[in-house]
A and B are shown apart, each in its own frame.
Chain A
Amino acid sequence: MSIANESTSEPKRRIQFAFTDEQEQFRTALRRFLNDRSPTTEVRRLMATETGYDPAVWRQLSDELALPGIHVPEQYGGAGFGMVELGIVMEELGRSLLCAPYFSTAVLAANAILNAGTETQKAALLPDLASGARLATLAIAEPDGDWNPAAIATVAAPAGDGYRLDGVKSYVVDGHIADLLIVAARAPKTSGLEGLALFTLAADASGVKRRQLAAMDPTRKIAQIEFSGAQASLLGNFNDGAKAIERTLDQAVIALANEMAGGAQTMLDSAVNYAKMRVQFGRTIGSFQAIKHKLADLLLEVELAKSAAYHAAQAAAANDPEWPALASLAKAATSETYMHAAAECIQIHGGIGFTWDNDTHLWFKRAKSSEVFLGQPSYHRELLMQRWGV
């Protein structure tokens, strides 16, 4: 089920294995900003709020760093960079666990519009997302939690000069605060990848009922959204609907893989620092081989996971035909590494690692929510095999 990029006109380039100096500088500036604005005290404060983010910080990261539109072409009000820069943003966000509607607005919604929208729709919708003025999200999965677009059951029936949506979406990231909803639905009486398309509507439209779900990971808020005869507009067309959905999901998977690589690095750093500090039996615990070797193994795992995440982003940026397969590979690799790093980080902290006051659980929860979000490792491994034609 490869969706190799016949729809894009960009030529294929060579896949890069190093970041440019400009990309490294961008990362440094971003890391400085996040260290300053998103210390764990802030993460803890925001995760306890209902909206889950700080509008002032959102404004700043939009105005000063142009983050929401980093990968959006300049003609639609973005910064005109691509997947590699988006990957850098995600890695740094994963490292610092910033609480903000970034994944929903920039990664899911903006890419969905870029992939599916007509010229007019892109020009109408993207500038407000790129500037951070408007929040948006993409609703794909339904209460059964299946990420395969073929499983979508929500129906869009022609009504007036648009469509009426009926169905229930779930696991919608930032669904409780988004202004604009993009919804994946199918034409009546269709099944599989036939008849799928994306639709837009305002979140406060009539026939839309939103309910925030109790999220295991409080740093990533999710909602269930019920549509009963809600009036929506078709984004793009039906012919390319399934392709646009898959492409958007693959890009989101790469972004998430980079976020997970950043989170895993934080877990490793935290475990290493603690191992150098904590003394038992008259020596630092980092001098015990059981701990030392665990950390060496984790370092290897984290570097391997980074390679997967970077490579997938570079492949997508280079428009390499293999990039969707590499997206799945990266998702599986980084999910397992992040989860492992988080579990080992708790273990190396001992009893204190199990407390609420210790920060490790914030990343541990993010690790698990990311592992299952957009498809589990086993799901993506199977996808990888299919995409490689095995």
Chain B
Amino acid sequence: MSTMNEAEVRAEVREWLAANWDPDMPLVEWRGRLADSGWGMPQWPKEWYGRGLPMALARVVEEELAAVGAVGVAKSGVRLLAAATILEHGSDLHKKRYLRRILTGEDTWCQFFSEPGSGSDLAGATTRAELKGDFWIVNGQKVWTTSAHHADHGMLLARTDWDAPKHEGLSYFIIDVKQPGVDVQPLRQMNGHASFNQVFFTDAKVPKENLVGRVGEGWKVAMTTLAHERRGADGLPPPPKRGTRIGRIHAEERAEAEKANQPYEWYPQRAGRVDLIIDRAKETGTNKDPVVRQEIAKLMTLAKCAEWTARRARAAQRQGRPQGPEGSLGKLAASHVARACARVHTLMTGTAAMLTGPESPREGIIAEILVSVPAVSIAGGTDEIQRNIIAERVLELPKEPRFDTGPFRNVRRN
């Protein structure tokens, strides 16, 4: 851990930015330079594109980048979950091969965890990987895989031992998505978009060295990925950017974002768009309806409390205190906020909630909120699973009874 203080960090980043930031540099080149300097992910270890700074100081660095309008390293999608998992469990080869290209935005990742027969119960995966010579040969099916249609690599959880108990027969791999044995088929969602896919593996190949962790340790490695996923789900928007000079790099960034985000344009809507609530109340005149006013106040209270709870968790972390219960609640809170938003938005919209598309309220945004919000309480672990986790880990209540012990071969499944 570094012993730099806030003022020293600010001074050093500023100096580095003054010497290096150039808004007219190509995007990938700039991000590479930023990654190599360690200022792109300052909380990462020094040997791997970081500076070993605590999270609190990493935010300071972010502020400094934002202050000069500098573009940060690529952070979209699940790339940082992949990176966090590789940092914790990957070999030096993995780190060398993948981390930098994650940060420059050259590679895109996806997460091959859920299967038709096992979603909440991820450890029930039946996609199999068998070692044949220098390759693991993968056969099976994954589903709901966000971004698989344009991903370069996937984090794959597959079964390598059918006689071991369920959680001990899994292994974790990095698999190339763009190969003949991987067939990606987009799935249309209830909101009409297609950001997730079903993926069929037929003798797909994974080089031997792309095993992450040891054989049979896949569950442990997957837990790292999931922990990072749930921590990131507290629904907080990124800090606003205060750009100074706009250069070609910004245009490139925008173009990249537009292309990459096209299947995900509904993402802001799934969180419920609490930011639109007050404006919509005024715009629809429902701010004069005492019943609606009560509903708005309830929703805004919930949303504010969720935001402050996340900030309490961060502030405690910054002070070096052990994590309290407030740190485990973000995902469940975000579900409640999203659902309440969908309810209040449609309440305020009234009969026009029967409409969708460009001619409907707010060019279809309101309709899209309604049909996108249900994703939040399912993706990344359902609300029910979150409640189990909170009850068991935070409140230390008894674990769920198990009916899936013994060799996996004999366990009941779909």
Contacts and interface: CB of A to CB of B under 8 A. Distances in A.
Given A329-B301, A382-B294, A385-B297, A17 B314 contact: yes
Interface in B353-404: 384, 386-388, 390-392, 394-401
A17 B395 contact: no
B397 A381 contact: no
Contact of A284 (B333, B387, B398): B398
Contacts of B329: 299-300, 303-304
A384 B301 contact: yes
B311 A292 contact: no
B301 A299 contact: no
B253 to A, nearest CB: 31
A56 interface: no
A382 B290 contact: yes
Interface in B288-346: 290, 293-294, 296-298, 300-302, 304-306, 308-309, 311-312, 314-316, 318-319, 321, 325-326, 329, 332-333, 336
Contact of B308 (A296, A311, A382): A311
A387 to B, nearest CB: 10
Which of B297, B302, B309, B321 gathers the greatest number of chain A CB atoms within 10 Å?
Answer: B297
Given A292-B397, A296-B387, A300-B333, A308 B297 contact: no
A303 B315 contact: no
A49 interface: no
A307 interface: yes
Contacts of A297: 387
B304 A296 contact: no
A385 B390 contact: no
B278 interface: yes
Interface string B192-232: 00000000000000000000000000000000000000000
A272 interface: yes
A362 B164 CA distance: 53
Specify the main secondary structure of chain B where it touches its partner. Answer: helix
Given A18-B316, A307-B326, A384-B297, A292 B387 contact: yes
> Interface size for chain B: under 10, 10 to 19, 20 to 34, or 35 or more residues?
35 or more
Interface string B258-282: 0000000000000000000010011
A198 interface: no
B394 A18 contact: no
Given A18-B319, A310-B312, A295 B395 contact: yes
A17 B282 contact: no
Mostly, the A contact residues are helix
A378 B290 CA distance: 10
B397 A390 contact: no
B287 interface: yes
A390 B306 CA distance: 21
Contacts of A254: none
B395 A308 contact: no
A329 B306 CA distance: 13
A276 interface: yes
Contacts of B293: 381-382, 385, 390
Given A276-B397, A390-B296, A299 B282 contact: no
Contacts of B281: 390
Nearest to B398: A287
A332 interface: yes
Among the interface residues A293, A329, A332, which one has the most CB atoms of the partner chain B within 10 A? A293
A16 interface: yes
Nearest to A293: B387
Contacts of A311: 304, 308
A308 B391 contact: no
A275 interface: yes
A120 B370 CA distance: 60
Contacts of A292: 387-388, 391-392, 397-398
A299 B308 CA distance: 15
Contacts of B297: 329, 332, 381-382, 384-385
B395 A299 contact: yes
Given A293-B387, A299-B390, A390-B282, A17 B397 contact: no
A43 interface: no
B327 to A, nearest CB: 10
A304 B333 contact: yes
Contacts of B325: 299, 303
Contact of B315 (A17, A284, A388): A17
A168 interface: no
B301 A333 contact: yes
A109 interface: no
A252 B181 CA distance: 68
A384 B305 CA distance: 14
A49 B95 CA distance: 71
Contacts of A381: 293-294, 297-298, 301
Contacts of A305: 305
B282 to A, nearest CB: 7
B391 A295 contact: yes
Contacts of A293: 384, 387-388, 391
Contact of A388 (B278, B321, B326): B278
Contacts of A295: 391, 395, 397
B297 to A, nearest CB: 3
Nearest to A311: B308
B395 A296 contact: yes
Interface string A357-390: 0000000000000000000001001101100101
A384 B325 CA distance: 28
A308 B301 CA distance: 8
A318 to B, nearest CB: 14
Contacts of A284: 398
Contact of A300 (B300, B312, B332): B332
Nearest to B319: A18
Nearest to B392: A292
Contacts of B391: 286, 292-293, 295-296
Given A17-B315, A296-B391, A303 B301 contact: no
Contacts of A385: 287, 293, 296-297
A275 B398 CA distance: 10
A12 interface: no
A283 interface: yes
Nearest to B386: A296
A255 to B, nearest CB: 18
Nearest first, the 7 A-B pairs at minimum CB distance are A381-B297, A17-B315, A18-B315, A304-B305, A287-B398, A307-B308, A296-B387
Given A296-B390, A299-B329, A304-B306, 20 more contacts: A17-B311, A17-B315, A272-B397, A276-B396, A283-B398, A283-B401, A286-B391, A287-B401, A292-B388, A295-B391, A296-B332, A296-B388, A304-B305, A307-B312, A307-B326, A329-B304, A332-B297, A381-B293, A382-B294, A384-B300
9 contacts: A17-B308, A17-B314, A272-B397, A292-B388, A293-B387, A305-B305, A307-B306, A333-B305, A390-B293
